[in-house]
Chains A and B, each alone.
Chain A
Amino acid sequence: MHTVTVTGVGVVCAIAGDAGAFERALREGRRGVCSCPDGGPPAALLDEEVREALPVLPAGAPDALRRSAERLTRRAPLPLRAAVGVAAEAWIGAGLHIAAVPGDRVGLVVAGSNLTGRHLTDLHDRYANRPAHLPPRAALRLLDTDHVGTISQLLQIRGEGCTVGAASASGNAGLVHGARLVATGEADVCLVVGALADLSAIEERALLNVGAMAPGPVGPPFDETHGGFAYGQGAACVVLESRRSARARGAEVLAELAGWDLRLAANSLTEPDGEAEAATMTRAMSRAGVSPGDVSYVNAHGTGAPLGDAAEAEALRWVLGEAVGGAWVNSTKALTGHCLAAAGVVEAVATVVQMRGGFVHPNPGLAHPADPGLRFAPATGGVRADIGVALSNGFGFGGFNGSVVFRAPA
């Protein structure tokens, strides 16, 4: 088995337009979640200028790549434009535009399903009464897999590719799938893209009606005042690469993806399953060969849903045991909102950024933890932290449980 490393990251969300800005926002603990002016559900939406400009390619992007990205995403729905931007950022960050890897040795996994709900309802509103004028390109744009096709054309990726869906655990499911491709040698490099979920009004309302999304202003994840998740717009990309390939190219290794696990809870509903969560974390740590005392940081799934926060806190206490006081815990969703399908990848980027930066971001607003048994990062101001091993969780409706373990590069 090959050692799986991270050699590039890219992100766009309510608090940052790229990974560099993301690090600054995490250090500050900037809250992207804003209350709705008319008292409706709070949300962390992309800055309007950022949204209109997508995809934004980083400085240093070759002109040909820039033109191709522009051509491929013209008039494309927001999720696709965001995905192309973060994929290009991670690709260039990994130096893959300079020290190339053959296209057939590169894989592409897009994490997320049901990504086109808003586009579908927009088209329905406009064309239901005159279907002959529906743009034929909709046949492509309405496929989640348009993300795969478009990014593969942009970056000339010719290895294995697909979308992976696991509700809000999609990001971690994508990381697991990508890690397997690299670990088994099917690919030397695999991009894992967490796709932006652009909810239609119907999907948003369903999440409200089922009681998962906060209907109005609520406290942050893990606080006694939590009351559901705040939706976050975001997309992220991680370049996974075998250590051998990274060495051969002279690419800098940002972190090692040392362990992973993905399992079901035999449950089709919205309820979390603490036992399944604990089993997932334990297996991911076991695969990484780390013990509870080695874990210095946990990026919790922590959406702010009271049942979910309670189940995860209890599972963490159980998994970490006596070492629970040694691991910092925060929820990036307090800053970015819940990026749904992309959450696991956004939080993988947050984990790698904090690991490299030697800090743990604050939990803004967390004044009275509902479960005081964890070592929560403070509400204001991050803390310096030497993160050797980090655990990042992602759980989804329908019994999906995913955990990944990152290790600082040797």
Chain B
Amino acid sequence: MDDVAILESIRRQTVAVVPEIDPAEITPDRSLADLGCNSVDRADIVTAVMEELAIEVPLSEFRQGAPVGELVELLRTHA
């Protein structure tokens, strides 16, 4: 699975959970927390991305405050 597809999924699910966020602002260098997602929003987004991409990553592997680029990488290694 390529990084672009994963980033697109993160954008879609982030906007589904927090519609106020402009998808163009969801870039690899930003963290979901920076973009205004609270802790439960972030957990919901990551889980929804896993659901969409049909992969499973233990939630303990996600680092709090990680930039979106790091999420993409982690998700790719489990794809």
Contact = CB atoms under 8 A, between A and B. Distances in A.
Interface string B33-53: 000000010011001101100
B19 A133 contact: no
A268 to B, nearest CB: 37
Nearest to B42: A136
A74 B40 contact: no
A75 B40 CA distance: 13
A273 B11 CA distance: 58
Interface residues of A, number: 11
B70 to A, nearest CB: 19
A135 interface: yes
Which among A136, A137, A140 has the greatest number of chain B C-beta atoms within 10 A?
A136
Contacts of A137: 40, 43-44
Nearest to A67: B20
A132 B55 CA distance: 9
A135 B47 contact: yes
B50 A132 contact: yes
Contact of A133 (B17, B18, B20, B51): B51
Name A's interface SS. Answer: loop
A134 interface: yes
Q: How large is the interface on B (under 10, 10 to 19, 20 to 34, 35 or more residues)?
A: 10 to 19
B24 interface: no
A133 B48 CA distance: 7
Contacts of B18: 71
A154 to B, nearest CB: 15
B47 A136 contact: yes
A136 B19 contact: no
Contacts of A132: 47, 50, 56
B34 to A, nearest CB: 18
Contacts, number: 27
A222 B54 CA distance: 56
A69 to B, nearest CB: 14
Contacts of B1: none
B59 interface: yes
B19 A74 contact: yes
Interface in A91-111: none
A136 B51 contact: no
Contacts of B40: 136-137, 140
A380 B43 CA distance: 54
A130 B48 CA distance: 12
A223 B47 CA distance: 53
Nearest to A139: B40
A230 to B, nearest CB: 36
Contacts of A71: 18, 20
Nearest to B55: A132
27 contacts: A71-B18, A71-B20, A74-B17, A74-B19, A75-B17, A130-B51, A132-B47, A132-B50, A132-B56, A133-B47, A133-B48, A133-B50, A133-B51, A133-B56, A134-B47, A135-B44, A135-B47, A135-B48, A136-B40, A136-B43, A136-B44, A136-B47, A136-B59, A137-B40, A137-B43, A137-B44, A140-B40
Interface of B: 17-20, 40, 43-44, 47-48, 50-51, 56, 59
Interface of A: 71, 74-75, 130, 132-137, 140
